[in-house]
Structure 1
Amino acid sequence: MINNKVLSIILGGGQGSRLYPLTHDRSKPAVPIAGKYRLVDIPISNCINSDIKRMFVLTQFNSASLNRHIKNTYHFSFFSSAFVDVLAAEQTPDNKGWFQGTADAVRQSMHHFLSHDFEYALILSGDQLYQMDFNHMVKEHIKNNAEISIATIPVNAKDATSFGILKTNENDQITSFIEKPAADLLPEWTSDTGEQMKSEGRDYLASMGIYIFNRKLLVELMNNPDTIDFGKEIIPQSIDTNRVFSYQYEGYWTDIGNIDSFFEANLGLTDDIPKFDLYDKSKRIYTRARMLPTTKVAGSVLNKTVVAEGCLIGAATIERSVIGIRSRIGKESTVINTYMMGCDYYETLEEIENYKIKILMGIGERCFIKNTIIDKNCRIGDDVRINGGEHLEDTETDTYVIKDGIVVIKKDAIIPNGFVI
């Protein structure tokens, strides 16, 4: 079987500064998404659905919650070779530094990979939202006698300046590559992406940051310590010397690079037919199995809203929002265009009484919350008004951040009664 010849390497990314404050005390792959999952569940689930079950996740920043999530989630049979292992940056006699880039992360971890038998390394990003059967890409890689394959997606001119853009010949072999081209260079970089894609104005082939490397070539490339990044160095340098091919993907894919894209990807799940389909049995997304009660709703109008399990909802109205696990929303509150991540635990009546807790976890009564991300375990008092939007300037306080009009309530923040943003 082809799958047995593939080892998956999931890159956890750097400090995740563009997703701050969600990455203040957790790594990017551990950021909660869709009310009950973590970002890292996406590439891991894609691998499991493709029957690729040997996976390493590379990370170096705030990896404790990621470690805990993976340890509590991905258990395989004792009689299986399947595993998901987290490799954090480690100092060794040969290397005393942190990961300097994507390729450097793989280089520093190579001794772990080489202890396994594999022919192809599937290198994935830990911060993308998509559903792909990697078997198709591996088969194309073998059919093309490729040494490197790059998953590509057709994009329009507006998006092309944010990606690595490449050109191919009639056999899909990559002939040239440019990283984030300026708009005036774009006319030279159009590709034949197919009739459907061209009709949508998607004339450029963008790298998705998903690669397949032959083991032998990967070992050779990792011997050069001067190359630290796949997209900026290794891929462009390999095009003239190796057989590098494009694998064109046309399904839904988005890079969760910043707060705005993260916010839109989550709210997109509330569409009548969401582009990211959580209801497809063949593309199931796996996460930690929690023994939570059903959600209870009383007197609420819910419109285009996704509600996870274990919630207690008494809101007046919730519209185009994602409500995460164990969320509590008080009476007469209105929640619009909001991603509420939920809570890690319930507070008992005894705890509330004994510790004289004035503001409970969740959203209080008579609140108005719009265009907001509420991180885990937040306490929002009664009569709070948070009206996010472009009229707000970017700012940061101890309890919240405003970025591009989106208000992000920090994890564990306490917002007092009557507070207004």
Structure 2
Amino acid sequence: MKPSVISIVLGGGRGSRLFPLTDKRSKPAVPIAGKYRLVDIPISNCLNSGFNRIMVLTQFNSASLNSHIKNTYHFDIFSKGFVDILAAEQSTENENWYQGTADAVRQSMRHLEKYDYDYILILSGDQLYQMDFKEMIDFHVKNGGDITIATIPVNAKDATGFGILKSNEEGHITSFIEKPASDLLPDWKSEVSDEMKYQGREYLASMGIYVFNKKVLKKMFQEDPGDDFGKELIPNAISKGYTTLSYQYTGYWTDIGTIGSFFEANMDLTNEVPKFNMFSSSPIYTRARMLPPSKINGSFVNKAVFGDGCIIMADKIEHTLVGIRTRIDKGSTVIRSYIMGADYYQTIEDIEENEKKGIPSIGVGKFCYIENAILDKNCHIGNNVRIIGNKHLQDGEFDTYCIKDGVIVIKKDAIIKDGTIIP
């Protein structure tokens, strides 16, 4: 019998570490891989796992995320499937906005009462991975779990940045510590495969992916007023003796928490054999845009990924992701960068009007050089512009761009005049 599951995707908080990409949108709405949004990853994993009842909880800068989901995920009337938005709301019972991951789910439980389900699958909206959640649910049911946490083995260097769980040989989690100091790590090794041990990955990090029995989660919410799963509810549940299981995942997974991790995850997609396989039999679903194929004229291209509807006349594009509707003019070079593209095409009238005002067209102008940079949507980059990021640059925020983790991020809709040099 197929398990009855409701999936909840957490829309995230302010996403300050991903600023300025989150200045005008929520984290799950940030474009990734040239044509998708981050939220497409957990939703696609759910659909590919056979779970098509999905709630997305939103709060900050949610307009573009709401629009994307509304325009993307449609099911026929016989499937009973849905991807619904649950926006944070004040009510007579609770006047507060979401205070954390657990509080977001707690406040949303009343909206789930009309559905018949036995298990709740809770997911983050800002991670890049491919997982069959049915296998995780089956593991949870077979082993009699109250709670199952997806874990991934990490090395000692990475372990200090995660919640680390300790499990016994049966896969039962016995204790939990949030971002442990390096001198505490020797006591936090868990049972992992020989391959993981060989790689030095002996610490189990929580992936922020949880399965709860419905009755157990309701009871936990009654017992524990905590706002966060990782910091409060789950450690408390372990101490109270709830059967908490570790479901070890050994594939590719990365948390898109910072500009640096976001940039490197996208750059990896341009490699010959990327860690995240966009070409697998499990599709990544997104909004179907009726765009023309991309057109490339006279360019040297190596290790590049192009979205639809691009017009490329650059001299050279290498190790670069080029998003939808991108225009790059003659003589320009783009290396190790992510150009997110545009939300619309400019008309001839728009271009002529902007020329009168001295405003460059959307896209990259002539004879530009761009390296180690992210260009957010609808950027106007003039001619002879140089944008060069470097890991030695200090972080900083400016009118039209930010520097973070050595990457220069040009803000959405920014206008960069002819001859500008950044930094």
One fold, TM greater than 0.5? Answer: yes
Are the aligned partners of 1:58 and 1:88 in contact in 2 as well (CA < 8 Å)? yes
Residue of structure 1 in register with 2:417 after alignment: 416
List gaps (5 residues or longer) in structure 1.
none
Q: Distance in 2 between matches of 1:113 and 1:183?
A: 41
Structure 1 counterpart SS, 2:206: strand
Q: Distance in 1 between matches of 2:388 and 2:67?
A: 35
Residue of structure 1 in register with 2:221 after alignment: 222
Displacement of 1:169 = 1.3
Q: Read off the aligned partner of 1:373 and give its amino acid letter.
A: I
Residue of structure 2 in register with 1:38 after alignment: 37
Q: Distance in 2 between matches of 1:128 and 1:405?
A: 21
Residue of structure 1 in register with 2:238 after alignment: 239
Residue of structure 2 in register with 1:405 after alignment: 406
Residue of structure 2 in register with 1:371 after alignment: 372
Displacement of 1:224 = 4.3
> Could you give the per-residue CA deviations for residues 115-141 of structure 1, whole angstroms, max 9, x where no partner exists?
211000000000000000001100010
Q: Which runs of 4+ in 1 moved over 4 A?
A: none
What TM-score results when the alignment is normalised by the length of structure 2?
0.98
Q: Read off the aligned partner of 2:269 and give its amino acid letter.
A: L
Q: How does 1:132-147 map to 2 (within 5 A)?
A: 132-147=131-146
Displacement of 1:314 = 0.5
Residue of structure 2 in register with 1:274 after alignment: 274
Residues 1:354 and 1:403: Cα distance change in structure 2 (over 3 Å) = closer
Q: How does 1:352-367 map to 2 (within 5 A)?
A: 352-354=351-353, 356=356, 358-367=359-368
Q: Distance in 1 between matches of 2:338 and 2:153?
A: 29
Q: Distance in 2 between matches of 1:337 and 1:212?
A: 38
Q: Cα RMSD over matched residues? A: 1.0
Q: Read off the aligned partner of 2:6 and give its amino acid letter.
A: L
List gaps (5 residues or longer) in structure 2.
none
Q: Read off the aligned partner of 1:383 and give its amino acid letter.
A: N
Are the aligned partners of 1:104 and 1:225 in contact in 2 as well (CA < 8 Å)? no
Structure 2 counterpart SS, 1:139: helix
Q: Distance in 2 between matches of 1:377 and 1:29?
A: 19
Q: How does 1:155-234 map to 2 (within 5 A)?
A: 155-224=154-223, 226-234=225-233
Are the aligned partners of 2:44 and 2:285 in contact in 1 as well (CA < 8 Å)? yes
Q: Distance in 1 between matches of 2:227 and 2:112?
A: 18
Displacement of 1:191 = 1.4
Q: How does 1:241-390 map to 2 (within 5 A)?
A: 241-281=241-281, 283-354=282-353, 356=356, 358-390=359-391
Displacement of 1:394 = 1.3
Q: Read off the aligned partner of 2:153 and give its amino acid letter.
A: P
Structure 2 counterpart SS, 1:149: strand
Q: Distance in 2 between matches of 1:53 and 1:18?
A: 31
Residue of structure 2 in register with 1:152 after alignment: 151
Segment drifting more, 353-362 vs 402-411: 353-362
Segment drifting more, 389-398 vs 258-267: 389-398
Are the aligned partners of 1:11 and 1:58 in contact in 2 as well (CA < 8 Å)? yes
> Could you give the per-residue CA deviations for residues 9-46 of structure 1, whole angstroms, max 9, x where no partner exists?
00111100000000001011000000000000000000
Are the aligned partners of 2:323 and 2:340 in contact in 1 as well (CA < 8 Å)? yes
Displacement of 1:80 = 1.6
Q: Read off the aligned partner of 1:259 and give its amino acid letter.
A: I
Displacement of 1:297 = 0.5
Q: Distance in 2 between matches of 1:380 and 1:391?
A: 24
Q: Read off the aligned partner of 2:82 and give its amino acid letter.
A: F
Are the aligned partners of 2:169 and 2:191 in contact in 1 as well (CA < 8 Å)? no
1:92 aligns with 2:91: yes
Displacement of 1:405 = 1.1
What TM-score results when the alignment is normalised by the length of structure 1?
0.98
